[in-house]
Each structure stands twice: as C-alpha cells, then as structure tokens.
C-alpha cells in the first residue's frame, strides 16, 4: 500500500489519544491530519504532552473545525456517553474506530441499563463490529465502524473465549480478579486519582457493577452459545499502566488444565501478539509494558475440576490504542504488526 491513510483523532488530549499519536508517528502509512480536543482547542500537543514537543503535529482544534472531506479514518477517544452522536454525524466515507464503550454492547437496552441513558445511535449500532482482532478479523476487514474492546474485556476474553468455544470450561462459576494501572482511570483530575489516594495502596472498585462486566459476558456468550454470567472485580494499583487478570474457571467433565494449555497454544500458535507461556511460568505486567502483547498462563487449581488462568496486557496498548491500530491495519489490508512490533520497556 503506497497511499497514506489520512487520520483524525477525536479527543486527542487524553491518554489513549496521546498513545495513538506515539504509535502512529512510527506508522509508515499514517498521516495525522487533525487532532481535536475541545477543552484544549488552539493549543499545540506539546503544551498538553511535552514528550511530543519535537514532533510535527497539527494543533488541537474543536470537532466542529475539522474538515472531514479528506479524512479516511477517525479514531474516537471521547468518554462514553459522548461518542454516539459525534460518530453519527461523520460523513459516510470516513471509517471509524471508537475507543469508548458506546458501540460495544449489541443490545441498546443493555447499554441503557449499564450506562444510565438511552443509546443515541441505534441504527449505527447495528453495523458496529466488536474489534477483538484475533477473534474477528474477517468482520473487521470490511467494517466501517469498529467498537474497540475495553481493556479488562480484552485481558479476559483472549484466554476465555477459545476455551468457551471449544467447550473445555463451564460457562458458570467464572471469577475474574483484575488489577489495573492508574491510567485506566483517565486523565481528568479527580480525588480518587490523586497521588496520595493511589500510592502505597490497592483498592477494589465497581464491585458487582463495573460496566465492563456486560461486555465480557457478551463476548463469552457469543463464544459459548450460552448465556454467561460471571463475577468480575477490578482493582486499581499504584502503577502507570498494565492489567493482570487472574481468572478462576470450572473444567468441563473429563478436561484437565493441560487440555486448556494445549487448546490455547494451538489457537494462538500463529498469532504475533498473543503468547501462551510454558507450563509453570507466570506472566507479569513488566513483560508486556509498552507493547501490544498479551501473555497467558494456565495452572491447575489444587481443587479438583478447576483451573486458574493469568492474563497480562498493557491497558493503553493492547487494551486501547495498540489494538485500535491493529484494527486499522486489518481494515486497510496492512500487516497487523505495522507500528506495533514493540519490545517491552524494562525495568
């Protein structure tokens, strides 16, 4: 592909917008034409993110100021609840990757229940493709609108969905204990994200009510062909980025943890970004920091008939901006590794 992809990033002043810019600056086919940030309009990105000071980037403008006639692809990084009307107003020729939660749930009633207001673009929801790259390539390639998966759902679905699809684990009794870095809370200042509130501690939040729960259940229900209900508890820990999900499952009759390991190894054997660790090895967030990788381990539980899965991703890369670029690469027929052939930052 010789042609450049002209890109607009809507809501570029947040963490996912900045991460998109960082990665797209290394993409040989990406041309960042417009950056929006209504509250930061008129400023250079260097004023918002000094690490971008010496990069040639357009000024931040309001969404209304963007000329979309020359835009091929829009990444939308706005908060949930603000995206549906914005995307519905984009010209039909613009392909869209939405990093918010606004198009992830296929059922508008479920969206209204979990997000507290009616879906504002129901017709557009019907054409949205859930962009979990390793599991939906064919649909992603031809889609106009991609709902980029959430960070917690990505860390949970990559290990669980293949096992569900193959009937190797029970669809009941799943427990997901997930821990995320503070960037998952966004960049807007709030008391709960202050250094003194976060540092030197850990806290659970969204207990039995986190909005990523129906997204995880939806993905696993599609994979298993059965209605999946599970227990999901997220925690915030004092690090910048990364997610570690510890997942407890019931084995199907006659199945062992070794069978899970073999199935996942086979499923992802040709994948660049999903890695199944050798038996006995434990993944950590240091192993994937700054990358688009997911590392998964499988352990037998000491309780017969159960197994424990451990999955790690970088919430800003595979959990957001990196997966969005992977989706872009699939949509435009490019190698999925373009701009994503990254090595973890360690220490």
Side-chain-side CA neighbours of residue 315 (13 Å):
24
Non-local CB neighbours of 253 within 8 Å, separated by 6+ positions: none
Write the DSSP assignment of 17-70 as a string of letters: HHHHHHHHTT-TTEEEEEEE-GGGTTS-HHHH-GGGTTS--PPEE-GGG--GGG
Alpha-carbon gap, residue 232 to 214, rounded angstroms:
10
Residues sharing a CB contact under 8 Å with residue 241, sequence separation 6 or more, in sequence order: 181, 183, 285, 289, 290, 314, 315, 316, 317
- Based on the residue annotation, tell me whether 294 is a catalytic residue of this protein: no
Over the range 53-75, which residues count as b (16 or more CB within 10 Å of their CB) and which as e?
A: eeeebbebbebeebebeebbbbb
* Ordered alpha helix ranges (H), the chain: 15-24, 45-48, 83-88, 108-115, 122-125, 137-142, 151-165, 195-198, 213-224, 257-267, 322-331
The DSSP 8-state label assigned to residue 240 in this structure reads: S
Residue 62 and residue 85 in contact, taking contact as beta carbons nearer than 8 Å: no
101 sits in the region (left: phi over 0; alpha: psi -120 to 50; else beta) called alpha
Selection from 187, 155, 206, 153 nearest residue 78 by Cα: 187
For residue 180, give every residue at least 6 positions away whose Cβ sits within 8 Å of its Cβ, in sequence order, or none: 151, 152, 234, 235, 236, 237, 242, 243, 315
Of the listed 77, 133, 151, 294, which one is catalytic?
Answer: 151
Enumerate the active-site residues. 151
């Amino acid at each position: 592909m010789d042609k450049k992809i002209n890109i607009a990033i809507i809501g570029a002043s947040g963490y996912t917008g900045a991460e998109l810019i960082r990665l797209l600056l290394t993409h040989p086919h990406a041309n960042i034409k417009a950056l929006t940030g209504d509250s930061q309009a008129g400023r250079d990105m260097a004023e918002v993110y000094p690490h971008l000071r010496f990069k040639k980037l357009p000024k931040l403008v309001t969404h209304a100021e963007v000329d979309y006639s020359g835009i091929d692809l829009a990444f939308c990084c706005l908060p949930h609840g603000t995206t549906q009307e914005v995307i519905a107003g984009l010209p039909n020729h613009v392909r869209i990757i939405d990093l918010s939660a606004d198009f992830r749930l296929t059922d508008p009633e479920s969206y209204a229940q979990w997000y507290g207001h009616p879906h504002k673009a129901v017709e557009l929801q019907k054409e949205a493709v859930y962009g979990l790259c390793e599991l939906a390539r064919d649909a992603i390639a031809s889609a106009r609108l991609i709902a980029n998966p959430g960070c917690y759902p990505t860390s949970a679905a990559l290990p669980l969905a293949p096992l569900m699809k193959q009937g190797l684990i029970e669809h009941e009794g799943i427990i997901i204990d997930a821990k995320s870095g503070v960037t998952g809370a966004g960049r807007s200042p709030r008391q709960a994200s202050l250094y003194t509130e976060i540092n030197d501690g850990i806290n659970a939040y969204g207990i039995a009510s986190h909005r990523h729960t129906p997204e995880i259940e939806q993905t696993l229900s599609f994979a298993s062909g059965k209605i999946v209900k599970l227990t999901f508890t997220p925690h915030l820990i004092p690090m910048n980025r990364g997610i570690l999900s510890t997942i407890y499952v019931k084995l199907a009759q006659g199945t062992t943890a070794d069978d899970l390991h073999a199935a996942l190894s086979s499923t992802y054997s040709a994948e660049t970004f999903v890695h199944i660790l050798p038996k006995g090895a434990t993944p950590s967030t240091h192993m994937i920091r700054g990358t688009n990788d997911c590392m998964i381990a499988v352990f037998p539980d000491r309780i017969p008939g159960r197994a424990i899965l451990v999955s790690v991703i970088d919430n800003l890369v595979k959990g957001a901006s990196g997966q969005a670029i992977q989706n872009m690469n699939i949509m435009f027929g490019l190698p999925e590794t373009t701009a994503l052939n990254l090595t973890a930052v360690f220490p």
